[in-house]
Amino acid sequence: MDFKLPEDIEFLKQSIRDFVDNEVDPLAMEIEEKDEIPEKIMNMSMEMGLFGLSIPEEYGGVGIGMVGKCAIYEELGRTHNGYTTVIGAHTGIGSVGIVEMGNSEQKKKYLPPMARGEMIGAFALTEPSAGSHATNLKTTAVRKGDKYILNGSKHYITNAPIADIFTVMAVTDPSKGAKGITSFIVEKDFPGFTVGKKEKKMGLHGSHSAEIFFEDCEVPVENVLGQEGQGYVNALKILANGRAGLAARNLGSCDKLLEMSIQHANTRIQFGKPIFEQQIIQHYLADMALDIEALRSMTYRVAWMVDQEMKVIKEAAMVKLLGSEVYNRVADKAVQIHGGIGYIAEYPVERFYRDARITKIYEGTSEIQKNIIAAQLKHEYL
Amino acid sequence: MNIFVLVKRTFDTEEKIVVTGGAIQEDGAEFIINPYDEYAIEEAIQVRDAQGGEVTVVTLGGEDAEKQLRTALAMGADKAVLINTEDDLDELDQFSAAYILAEYLKDKEADLILGGNVAIDGGSGQVGPRVAELLGINYVTTITKLEIDGKTVKIVRDVEGDSEVLEAELPLLVTAQQGLNEPRYPSLPGIMKAKKKPLEELELDDLDIDEDDVKAKTTTVEIYLPAQKVAGRVLEGDLSDQVKELVSLLHSEAKVV
Ligand SMILES: Cc1cc2nc3c(=O)[nH]c(=O)nc-3n(C[C@H](O)[C@H](O)[C@H](O)COP(=O)(O)OP(=O)(O)OC[C@H]3O[C@@H](n4cnc5c(N)ncnc54)[C@H](O)[C@@H]3O)c2cc1C
């Protein structure tokens, strides 16, 4: 058993750390206040190849496995989570569908510009009637000649305002339930497709989610992703694939919070000594470190399992769940250790605290992850 | 265009440096490409991209320097050469480094050789010019701009904050000053490709160099950190008394007036 990251992955990780520390983190406050990612950062991220993280080398991407991706996500998680989400939604749910289920024409057409960051991807499953109950979709797709005509709407779609292509799940056969759902690649310029206004959110500033609308939207038959009727399975696969990556991003944020908390505890003097010397503060820090270590082990193990092409339904749900619960616990303790300044917007801790909250909701709520784990347990044991 | 870049692995002076027993502790220190050499690498890549040709990065040192070479390859250099002196030489000085590099370069038909203006560790700024002298080619130090047109090179160099514009002919050695360019971060695909790029390792034997011929000509007597800054002194009392006290302190303690 070897718990060390391969040398080239360490190299990638270090290089992202330098970039994040020198270029992104100094602008975190600006991102937060202006609610947008500076163009310079977007351009540098493109030049560094970050947008091609999930894309194979032959299509101009980085061509690394899940362990490598997690190492990079971990570093990205250390900085502003809005920035990380813009990248993550594109490299994760926004491009994985085409990489995994796309045919060779689709890959040739879409992946190279996606790898360069010239084409941004988004993933559109959730609808007002279909949140956790993701099969309860109302968006329909009716075949007409060599086109499908889509009607309906979706909401909370991350990257929608900047995205060029969307992986969209729609109902092709209402009589078949989950097996009547098909996934499509929809370009933003297809007739009948529009993006609504950006939502105002508690956190993840700089990353934008919006409604999208299909009004007799014409999608060519060649833009069906995978087979007709496989859309729901595709969506589950895309989401499952992303789960270790999301956990890795959370891991990076937790690490950063622990570092900041230790520094603060060591320099903040009350009652004539650093608060670090209070046993309860030490225990908070110990609990944070313990949680983080458990998350680290699990994240990289699940990533390794993905790379071994092992089945990871239960484990992916577990690591998504652990990642978001740990992040929220760690962020809460970090605020507590920082005291008042942990609540003040001039200091990054409160931002992490707000940004942590979404991780228990999107890409499947914590409750839904438990449902998935229990269903797998039933399957395994009964 | 046949381009060579002289690269040095140095410790990161922005990280904590510990000196014990007259030597810098390598344990716990962070190692980087000498920042001035990064400008040289970036410039070499830009020249290659504009003019065609090949960039070879060369370093002297031990196995550990492979990491800095891989970084240069990830940035976009084509080939790397490590001249491993670890087993042959305990200490290198500017003389030995220049001699070895010149021996390596002498039959390479380099059109352009780039290096950093100084290394942030030793800070001598000698190796580049010495190599050029040994090779018998022109050199220009502390450059902030480089334009190549055929065999003619137009250069702006920094002279203590002012600029000097010169023209030189290839083959040429230049050393890079801050401001020459903005070195790129190695891209992720660049890092993956760097694994497959050639990294040649040579020893003094391979260059027909006798270790006695390159023994350091200088000895380091002592290494120490700069004295810790102490807090300033705040003068108090009547303003005119403060002025008097200040003048007297500048005279007697600071000895500047
Ligand atoms: C910022 C943001 C970005 C998003 N990005 C995207 C995106 O890019 N693409 C996309 O498709 N979607 C996206 N979403 C949608 C997100 O995935 C959903 O919000 C999430 O799945 C929950 O659905 P819901 O909001 O409808 O909540 P509901 O499903 O209404 O859930 C409400 C509560 O009930 C619980 N609950 C529901 N059903 C059960 C059950 N069976 N058992 C136990 N508890 C249950 C939930 O866990 C939750 O606590 C995003 C959401 C947000 C807020």
Q: Is the pLDDT of residue B26 over 90?
A: no
Q: Residue B245 and residue B248: Cα distance in Å, rounded?
A: 5
Least confident range of A40-44, A237-241, A332-336: A237-241
**Chain B hits for A72, Cβ within 8 Å:** 188
Higher pLDDT, A24 or B161: A24
Strand order in the sheet with B172-176: B162-169, B152-159, B138-149, B172-176, B112-116, B2-7, B54-61, B79-84, B199-203
Over residues A143-157, the mean pLDDT reads: 97
Catalytic one of A118, A363, A367, A380 = A363
CB A121 within 8 A of CB A133: no
Over residues A324-351, the mean pLDDT reads: 97
Residues A315 and A365 in one domain: yes
How sure is the predictor about B97, in pLDDT bands with cuts at 50, 70 and 90?
Answer: very high
| Residue A1 located in a structural domain | no
How sure is the predictor about A21, in pLDDT bands with cuts at 50, 70 and 90?
Answer: very high
How sure is the predictor about A323, in pLDDT bands with cuts at 50, 70 and 90?
Answer: very high
Q: Residue B126 and residue A125: Cα distance in Å, rounded?
A: 63
Over residues A125-139, the mean pLDDT reads: 96
Which of A229, A250, A273 is where one domain is finished? A229
Q: Is the pLDDT of residue B61 over 80?
A: yes
**What's the confidence (pLDDT) of residue A75?**
98
User: Count of residues for chain A?
Assistant: 382
Higher pLDDT, A327 or B123: A327
**What's the confidence (pLDDT) of residue A186?**
98
**What's the confidence (pLDDT) of residue A305?**
95
Minimum distance, in Å, between the CA of residue B76 and any CA atom of chain A? 12
DSSP code string of B26-66? -TT--EEE-HHHHHHHHHHHHHHHHH--EEEEEEEE-GGGH
pTM of this prediction?
0.90
**What's the confidence (pLDDT) of residue B207?**
93
How sure is the predictor about A172, in pLDDT bands with cuts at 50, 70 and 90?
Answer: very high
CB B112 within 8 A of CB B45: no
Q: Is the pLDDT of residue A92 over 90?
A: yes
Coil, helix or strand at residue A6: coil
Map tokens 């492979």 to a residue.
B66
Residues A191 and A290 in one domain: no
**What's the confidence (pLDDT) of residue B171?**
95
Q: Is the pLDDT of residue B175 over 80?
A: yes
**What's the confidence (pLDDT) of residue B27?**
80
Higher pLDDT, B21 or A360: A360
Residues A72 and A198 in one domain: no
Q: Is ligand 1 within 6 A of the CB of residue A157?
A: yes
Q: Which residue of A has its CA nearest to B193?
A: A62
Per the prediction, chain A carries an average pLDDT of: 96
Residues A57 and A25 in one domain: yes
The answer for residues whose C-beta is within 8 angstroms of residue B245's C-beta and 6 or more apart is B235, B237
Q: Residue A292 and residue A251: Cα distance in Å, rounded?
A: 7
A58 touching B (Cβ < 8 Å):
no
CATH classification at residue A225: 2.40.110.10
State how far the alpha carbon of A125 is from the alpha carbons of A168, A200, A288, in Å: 6, 20, 34
Over residues A40-65, the mean pLDDT reads: 95
* B80 DSSP β-pair partners: B57, B199
Which of A84, A119, A154 is where one domain is finished? A119
CATH classification at residue A289: 1.20.140.10
Interval B120-158: pLDDT, tens: 888 889 999 999 999 999 999 999 999 999 999 999 999
Residues A264 and A358 in one domain: yes
Q: Is the pLDDT of residue A361 over 80?
A: yes
Residues A162 and A84 in one domain: no
Active site residue A222: no
Residues A15 and A29 in one domain: yes
The reply to whether residue B187 touches residue A53, judged by beta carbons under 8 angstroms, is no
**Chain A hits for B185, Cβ within 8 Å:** 15, 18-19, 44, 47-48
Residues A93 and A174 in one domain: no
Interval A238-276: pLDDT, tens: 998 889 999 999 999 999 999 999 999 999 999 999 999
Q: Is the pLDDT of residue B255 over 90?
A: no
CB atoms within 10 A of CB B157: 21
CATH classification at residue A99: 1.10.540.10
Pick from B78, B76, B77, B58: nearest CA to B9: B58
**What's the confidence (pLDDT) of residue B98?**
95
Minimum distance, in Å, between the CA of residue B185 and any CA atom of chain A? 7
Over residues A177-201, the mean pLDDT reads: 97
CATH architecture of B2-214: 3-Layer(aba) Sandwich (3.40)
Which of A229, A247, A276 is where one domain is finished? A229
Interval A267-305: pLDDT, tens: 999 999 999 999 999 999 999 999 999 999 999 999 999
Q: Is the pLDDT of residue B23 over 90?
A: no
Q: Is ligand 1 within 6 A of the CB of residue A153?
A: no
**Chain A hits for B197, Cβ within 8 Å:** none
Number of domains chain A is built from: 3
Residues A140 and A212 in one domain: yes
**Residues of B near A (CB-CB distance < 8 A)?**
67, 70-71, 74, 184-192, 195
Range list of β-strands (E), B204-252:
none
Query: Which residue has its alpha carbon closest to ligand 1 atom 6?
Result: A157
Higher pLDDT, A266 or B257: A266
**What's the confidence (pLDDT) of residue B231?**
83
Residues A137 and A91 in one domain: no
Q: Residue B85 and residue B88: Cα distance in Å, rounded?
A: 5
What residues make up the domain containing A199? Answer: 122-229
The reply to whether residue B192 touches residue A64, judged by beta carbons under 8 angstroms, is yes
**What's the confidence (pLDDT) of residue A286?**
98
| Residue A2 located in a structural domain | no
A63 touching B (Cβ < 8 Å):
yes
The reply to whether residue B74 touches residue A15, judged by beta carbons under 8 angstroms, is yes
Q: Is the pLDDT of residue B177 over 80?
A: yes
Interval B201-228: pLDDT, tens: 999 999 999 988 898 999 888 888 888 8
Percent of chain A with pLDDT over 90: 98
| Residue A83 located in a structural domain | yes
The reply to whether residue A61 touches residue B186, judged by beta carbons under 8 angstroms, is no
Q: Is ligand 1 within 6 A of the CB of residue A184?
A: no
Over residues B170-195, the mean pLDDT reads: 94
Q: Residue B47 and residue B180: Cα distance in Å, rounded?
A: 12
Q: Which among A18, A44, A50 is the nearest to B188, CB-wise?
A: A50
Residues A144 and A245 in one domain: no
Distance of CA B81 to the CA centre of its chain: 16
Residues A240 and A376 in one domain: yes
